[in-house]
Amino acid sequence: MSQLKERTLGQLLDEAVENYPDNEAVVYVDRDYRQTYREFAEKVDTLAKGLMALGVKRGEKVAIWATNVPYWVAFQFATAKIGAVLLTVNTYYRNHELDYLLKQSETENLIIIDGFRDVDYVSTIYELVPELRTMERGRLKNKTYPHLKRVLFLGQEKHRGMYSMPELEAMSVMISDEEYQARQDELDPHDVVNMQYTSGTTGFPKGVQLTHYNIGNNGFWIGENQHFTEKDRVCLPVPLFHCFGCVLGVLACVSHASTMVILEGFDPFLIMASVDSERCTALYGVPTMFIAVLEHRSFSRFDYSSLRTGIMAGSPCPVPVMRRVMDVMNMKDITICYGLTESSPVMTQTRIGDPIEKMTETVGKPMPEVEVSVVDPETGEPCAPGVQGEVCCRGYLVMKGYYNNPEATAKTIDKDGWLHSGDLGTFDEDGYLVITGRLKDMIIRGGENIYPREIEEFLYTMEGVQDVQVAAVPSRKYGEEIGAFIILKDGVDMIPEDVRDFCRGKISRYKIPKYIAFVEEYPMTASGKIQKYKLREMAEELFPQAMQ
C-alpha cells in the first residue's frame, strides 16, 4: 500500500500546528527571533491574506529574491496556501540573469530585499523596470515584462512603486476567514507550488515546476530517513532558494514538526554557535561547509554533543572528512543525498547505520516509493550491477515539466515516465548507487550547478572573442572550478583579467571563470565535435595550482 500523502503544503503545516502548536518552528540565533508553530502559522495566514488582498490569484507566480531572512519560509507557505507558485530566485543573480528569469517565467509578483553582497536588488529592479518609480502601485505596465504586476519590498522601508511588509500585513484584514478558506479548499495537491530555475545543457535556465505532491512527499521521506521527530532541531545554513533549503530543510522539518534553526547565510562561526546554543540534533551542508567548520580556529570552543544526524550533499565527501564529521562533530547518523531539482530533488539517500564506505563511495539507495534505474544511454536497457549507464528515476517525485518548454520536457521525461538525469552511475551488488560521471557538461562548484553553455553564450558577446569553450578545472577546495578556453580574433590582445572584468556585475560571481586560457584550437573528434573531457585534462596541466 502506498504511503504517499495527497495533501497540500498548507495542510502539511496545519497538521504540525494541530499536533505541536507550542513546538518551536523557526529560530534565528543571531537576531533572537523565535516562533512556535502556532505563531509561525499566524504569520503565514496574515501574509497569505495580504497577498490575496493585493489581488494575487491561484496559479500566479510570486518570485522571491532574498537571502534566508525570517519572512522567507513564511512566504513559502503563504503562497502555497493561496495556490500561488513560489518562484525561488538565486541570490547571486545579476540584472542579466534576473531579466531572463522575469521574461521566461512570466512572473506576476516579485518580492525583494535590499541586496546581497555587492548587488543592490532595489537599484537593479529600478534599472530593469523604470516605470516602478512613476506608476501607481498594483497598476504596473512595462513592455519588457508585460506580466509583472507588483513588486514588494521585504522590509519596513518604503520604496517608490513597491509595497512594504507592514502595508501587506495591514491589508490582510480585507480578506475574510471564509474567503481565505474557500481559496484553500479549491487547491489540488497536484497543482504546481514551486518553481526553480536550473540551467540546461542546451544553454539557458529552465523553470522546473514542482507540485505540493512532489516536494511534500519528498520532504517527508528525507526526514524519515534521518528519523526526525518533533524533538529534532535542524541547523540550516544552506540557501532556501535551492531545494537543499526549501525541501530537504523546510519540508523535512515541517512534516515532522521539527524546529528549523535558520542562518541567513553561510558563516562557520554562526553554525557552531547555533548548534551549541540551540542544542541542534541535525546539520546540513555541502562538504566544503563541513570542512570550513572543522578547520575553523574556534572549533574546539563549542559543544557538538547534541548532534546526531544531518545531510551532506552536493559533491562527494572525502573519507577523512566524513570520519571527522562522524567522530569529532558527533554526527554518527549523517546521511548522503543525491538527486536533481527535476526530481524534487532527492532520488537516493543513505540510511542511518550504513557503513562509512557506503557513505563516501555511494549516494545511497532509492528513496521509498521511488524507482531508480541505470540504463544504457544507447539502447535504454537496464544495466547489470557494476555496469555504467545513465541514472533515471520514476515515481511521485518527477517534476510536472519545464515551464513553457514542452520540447525540453519531452527530452528529459520519456514516454514511460522515466526522468533522465544526465548523470552516469552504477549500482553496486548491495543496491547502492555510485555516481561515476556525467553525460552532460555540468560543472559542480562547491555544490552549485553551473552549465558551461550559459557562460559560453555570455562570453561570445565579448568584443574580440572568436570562440569559447567552458569546462571544469579540478579543484581541491571546491571539487571543480570554472575554466574558460578562448580563441581570440586575429590581431586581438587580451589578458585573463579583461575577461573577468567583462563578467563582473553582469553574471553571478560564482559563474565568473577562475581559470582562463587563450588557445589556438580545441581537441576534436574525427567528426568535429569538441572533446570537453580533453579540455579537463588540459586544465590539469595548465592550472596545477587548482589542486594545491
- HSE-CB at 517 with a 13 A cutoff on CA atoms is 20
Q: How far is CA 245 from the centre of its chain?
A: 7
Longest dimension (CA), the chain: 72
Q: Which domains does the chain have, with CATH numbers?
A: 9-320 (3.40.50.12780), 450-547 (3.30.300.30)
Please report the pLDDT score of residue 137 as a whole number. Answer: 92
Distance of CA 547 to the CA centre of its chain: 27
| Residues 57 and 48: beta-carbon distance below 8 Å | no
pLDDT at 515 over 60: yes
Average pLDDT of span 96-116: 97
What's the pLDDT tens digit per position in 67-101? 999 999 999 999 999 999 999 999 999 999 999 99
| SS3 call for 498 | helix
Mean pLDDT, residues 288-303: 94
Average pLDDT over residues 36-52: 98
Q: Please give the model's pTM, rounded to 2 decimal places.
A: 0.87
Closest among 69, 166, 149 to 108, alpha carbons compared: 149
Q: Cβ distance 366 to 348 under 8 Å? A: yes
Which amino acid is residue 222, in one-letter code?
I
Check whether 61 has a pLDDT greater than 50. Answer: yes
Nearest to 332 by CA among 301, 357, 310: 310
- Percent of the chain's residues with pLDDT above 90: 81
pLDDT at 347: 98
Is pLDDT above 60 for 53?
Answer: yes
- Interval 397-425 mean pLDDT: 96
Q: Measured between alpha carbons, how far is 168 from 179 in angstroms, rounded to an integer?
A: 17
3-state secondary structure of 157: coil
Tens digits of residue pLDDT in 158-179:
999 999 999 999 999 999 999 9
Give the Cα separation of 439 and 203 in Å (integer): 15
Q: Is the pLDDT of residue 215 over 50?
A: yes
pLDDT band with cut points at 50, 70 and 90 for residue 2: confident
- Is-contact 86 44, C-beta < 8 A? no
Condensed to tens digits (0 to 9), the pLDDT of residues 297-340 reads 999 999 999 999 999 998 778 888 999 999 999 999 999 999 99
Q: Which of 14-18, 248-252, 343-347, 468-472 has the lowest mean pLDDT?
A: 468-472
Phi and psi at residue 30, in whole multiples of 5°?
Answer: -70, -15
CA atoms within 13 A on the CB side of 105: 32
Sign of the torsion formed by the C-alpha atoms of 394, 225, 480 and 374: negative
Confidence of residue 222 (pLDDT cuts 50, 70, 90): very high
* Nearest C-alpha neighbor of 532 from the set 496, 499, 484: 484
Identity of the amino acid at 378: E
Q: In terms of Cα–Cα distance, which of 310, 393, 392 is closest to 359?
A: 310
Beta-bridge partner residues of 284: 311
Position 346 scores a pLDDT of 98
Mean pLDDT lowest among 119-128, 235-244, 478-487, 529-538:
529-538
Q: What is the pLDDT of residue 202?
A: 47
